[in-house]
Amino acid sequence: MRSLGTSISRAFCFVVCALPLFFAPTSRAQDELPVAPLPVFEFHSGFWLNLHHTLYRIARSQRASNPSANSAANPTGIPNLSPAEQRVWSAALAFYTKTYADKDLTVSLEMILIKNQLGDFETCEDLAGLKKKTCDAGLPAKLTETLDAAAPVYRAHLWQDHDRANRRWIAAVAPLVRRNGLDLSHRLAEIYQTNWPKERIRVDVTSYASSTGAYTTLDPLRVTVSAADARNQGSEALEVLFHEASHGIADGVQDAIFRECRQREKPIPRDLWHALLFYTTGEVIRPLGLAATDAATSSSGYVPYAVREGLYKRGWENYLRVLTQYWQPYLDGSVSYDDAIAHMVSAL
């Protein structure tokens, strides 16, 4: 790959200052949203990244459902394709099944670099630079060929619905970010004893964003979130955004836990730091009084993500105990950061 840090003008973003929004050439006027100043985040609905994730999702699903089958013979995930479209889309799925379906979007360096590059080139009509030299994304030749070939099929059959859903999601979460974003970012930075990033955090909104519904990659810090995932809707979307963003500022917590374990000659507890991130974001957002999306829980107020999704019942029971007993007092200001970490590690 060639330079993977090139930044091209963004297709769809809300920004903190009153700059005009940019829309990809395929966007329709009636879908445009008004300019609105937002703190902390910069939202994008990009064509190429959505196409990439769609091909990845379908290829991965096909492989899981029938690993021995030829992917070109499996359903394409798009109804009513013409024979020519069927051939092109099936070839794209076959390539993704062979090349990328077994790779993890969240940890594979190759997949992370591809994601970032597709985001940076989201306004380009092609990725080979055929129509505009600056749109040569420098991706592997076969990937470029596959995406450019599949683009007309995706644009004709799926993209308008995906883009519209992405924009609706952004429009829904924008008021929550506008009202609470700065306070939440300051509070979380204070808790993790660090600085919130000076630059707005890029959030790529896609139809699919891994099996978890959202994920974060670092250097640069970017969040990818699914607009279609049921776990990311309503007021819960605010917690998802700030949990994901916390991955970029909470390295110190993980380091402190590891350091304390080494000093006590104790094994490092797997995922304690991640449970701590879930717990912290949920507890910081809970007092905002946000309405619960689920009517069954609305009477009891906001339910944090980790509780709502049962994460503490999947091997994190001890973590919830020590977080409640030793980390919560730190959040309340009654004990120091170092003491909270030391007590948690000691109690496990």
Candidates 342, 40, 283, 17; CA nearest to 176 is 40
Q: What pLDDT, in 10s, does the model give residues 33-87?
A: 545 557 899 999 999 999 999 999 999 998 887 644 444 444 578 999 999 999 9
State the pTM of this model. Answer: 0.86
CB distance 234 to 214 below 8 Å: no
pLDDT band at 333 (very low <50, low <70, confident <90, very high): very high
Nearest-angstrom CA–CA distance, 273 and 192:
12
Express each pLDDT in 181-221 by its tens digit: 999 999 999 999 999 999 999 999 999 999 999 999 999 99
Q: Sorting pLDDT into bands at 50, 70 and 90, what band is 111?
A: very high
The whole-chain average pLDDT of the chain stands at 87
Dihedral over Cα of 116, 121, 126, 129: its sign = negative
- 222-269 pLDDT, tens per residue? 999 999 999 999 999 999 999 999 999 999 999 999 999 999 999 999
Residue 201 sits at φ, ψ, to 5 deg, of: -80, 125
pLDDT in tens, 72-104: 444 578 999 999 999 999 999 999 999 999 999
